[in-house]
Structure 1
Amino acid sequence: MHITTLDPGASALDYYGYELRRYREAAGLTQRQLGVVINYTGSMIGQIETAKKLPTLEFSRAVDAALDTGGLLTRLLDLVLRSQLPAWFQQVAELQARAVDICSFEAQMVPGLLQTQEYARAVLGTLDQSNLDDRTAVRMARQRIFEMENPPVFWAILSEAALYLEIGGRKTMKNQLARLLTYEDNPRINIQILPHSAGAHAGLTGSFDLYRFPGDPPIVYTEGYGSGHPTANPDTVKDCSLRYDHLQAAALSIRDSAALIRRVMEERYGEQRDADGDSVAEVELQQ
């Protein structure tokens, strides 16, 4: 059988595959035999070993336990997934992982760190369906910064428009808004809605993030089409910090924001009923 030669220095994904194969062979197992142990196909293991498919967290944990790696593959996974991000965004992902505070203003949609898988898939799949499963998995993996021993404090201000922009359909939106409500009592993830009634506001120039670090200058991040723009310019940081303070002052409180999210979720994306109180979906099925 032809065995693909791996160069562990070629990429983080190649290194992961190299280590997977090394531990498997040291255990005296074929790909099929390891697959039986961890409930994956031998073909899947082969694709991951040859850097043709991205591993998942569940896969990594299963292999670590089966091959007694000391958690190596699970630790490598963050590096692997981060390496799959667009080159221009990799630095930003590292900044998010190092930050102690993240302040985000989003003018149109839910920020990536709070997206459900279905919502993220709908966003990423707009005009580009290539490698959509992998790209969605990579985006979702970024949310693991909230599982770190010392996760950042995240402040997110969303324009009310983000609640109404129907991305992925009504069910996806309902689940996305429900996800936002799960953070209502989490002091490290704080969500505020900037209502339409705020009128002209400090965020009219567009979305932006502000990252703060222990011992390092804060960084402002803005994004364009296919490019990101992080900067530590003191004047820019000062301006965006002031803008964020004004946005927070204009936004609803965390409690009132949750109430608005809940109302939109129920009224706009909940089960629709006709004048007699019957489910519209059920009536359409009967017809």
Structure 2
Amino acid sequence: MPTRRAVTGRSREPRARFAEELRHLRTARGDSLRQLGERLGWDWSLFGKMEKGETVGGPEVVEALDQYYGTPGLLLALWELAISDKTQFKERYRRYMALEAEATSLWHFSVSVVPGLLQTPGYARELLAAGGFKGAALDQQVEARMGRQHLLTGDDPPPFRTILSEAALRTPLRSATEWRGQLERLAEAGEQGDVTVQVLPQSAGTHGLVSTDVWFLRLPGGRPVAYTENAYWGELIEESVKVERLQRAYDVVRDLALSPSESRKFIMRILEEMSCSPSI
């Protein structure tokens, strides 16, 4: 069994420290990424991404690595530190926000949540509260999110297209009044000249973005970048090959979605259903 080394003394950033340890253990064993993948039964590219810090993987693969390298618990402990650290997420998000401010157009797809650029204050507050914000911090986050919306209302706003999964329209807020206000906001947004709202009905079936919320920004000069996110972290993607792959999946989703006019009718039908519901 290799000697278990102290966690300190190398990178102080948890995610980078985790990636460094993975690289060290593999090279010390003399394995290539392909060999590691073959021996553990995972796609070797996953290990490459983990060693670059692009992903931390899941607990199952980390436990398998601990067993393979004879380091029981070490990698899992580093992994837990890496997933709890928000520093890298904040840095990537700040970078994304800076790019968003200079984008010439924006495209978006959501699996289950209305995009921040079209959220009402009530929707944003409940969503952020569910994420753990409260008190003054919650007020601050809601205000910041509402401030972002000036991007669509200022002089010469960039064209914005959002495709919303039906699930995003069927997951209500606790307050029926606030939820109605959010649906009305979406219906009205589609009437803005620079905003396009489309709905992807559940009947469309599975697709390449079935578990991925994604933003695409077209930057001055035409270069696109992508940003994928979930409730806990996000990833800014600037590598052209990866962006193109996501764009192809997005194009399929757009082809499956209802037209803007049919999407507005779909939202209005949900509002009518709310009016007819005895619990509303």
TM range (shorter): 0.5 to 0.7
**Residue pair 1:119, 1:168 contacting (<8 A) in 2 also:** no
CA displacement, residues 109-137 of structure 1 (integer Å, 9 cap, x when unaligned): 10111000000000001133141111100
Residue-by-residue CA offset, 1:122-158 (whole Å, 9 max, x unaligned): 0001133141111100111000011232211100000
Q: 5+ residue gaps in structure 2?
A: 1-88
Shift of 1:160: 0.4
The one-letter code matched in structure 2 to 1:93 is: M
**Do 1:158 and 1:194's aligned partners in 2 also have CA atoms closer than 8 Å?**
yes
Aligned residues: 190
**SS in structure 1 opposite 2:164?**
strand
Find the aligned partners of 2:240 and 2:190 in 1 and give their Cα distance.
Answer: 33
Equivalence for 1:192: 198
Q: Secondary structure at the match of 1:105?
A: strand
Pick from 120, 131, 138 the counterpart of residue 116 of structure 1: 120
Q: Is the Cα–Cα contact under 8 Å of residues 105 and 159 in structure 2 kept in the other structure?
A: yes
- Deviations along 1:13-37, whole A, 9 cap, x unmatched? xxxxxxxxxxxxxxxxxxxxxxxxx
Pick from 267, 270, 277 the counterpart of residue 261 of structure 1: 267
Normalised to the residue count of structure 2, the TM-score between the two structures is 0.64
- TM-score w.r.t. structure 1 length? 0.62
Q: Which of residues 94, 105, 109 is equivalent to 1:105?
A: 109
Question: Which amino acid is 1:203 matched to?
Answer: L
Q: Report the RMSD for the aligned CA atoms in angstroms.
A: 1.9
Q: Does the 8 Å CA contact 1:118/1:168 hold for their aligned counterparts?
A: no
User: How far, CA to CA, are the matches of 2:124 and 2:254 in structure 1?
Assistant: 25
Q: How does 1:64-83 map to 2 (within 5 A)?
A: none
- Residues 178-220 of structure 1: CA distance to partner in whole angstroms, max 9, x if unpaired? 0011123223100000001101123114111111012152101
1:225–1:163 CA distance, 2 compared to 1 (3 A): closer
**Which consecutive residues of structure 1, in runs of 5 or more, have no partner in the other structure?**
1-84, 274-279, 282-287
Contact 2:200 2:253 survives alignment (8 Å): yes
Equivalent residue letter for 2:95: Q
| C-alpha separation in 2, matches of 1:113 and 1:184 | 13
What SS does the aligned partner of 2:191 have? coil
Match of 1:138 among 134, 137, 144: 144
Larger relative contact order (C-alpha < 8 A, sep ≥ 6)? 2
Contact kept in structure 2, 1:93 and 1:142, CA below 8 Å: no
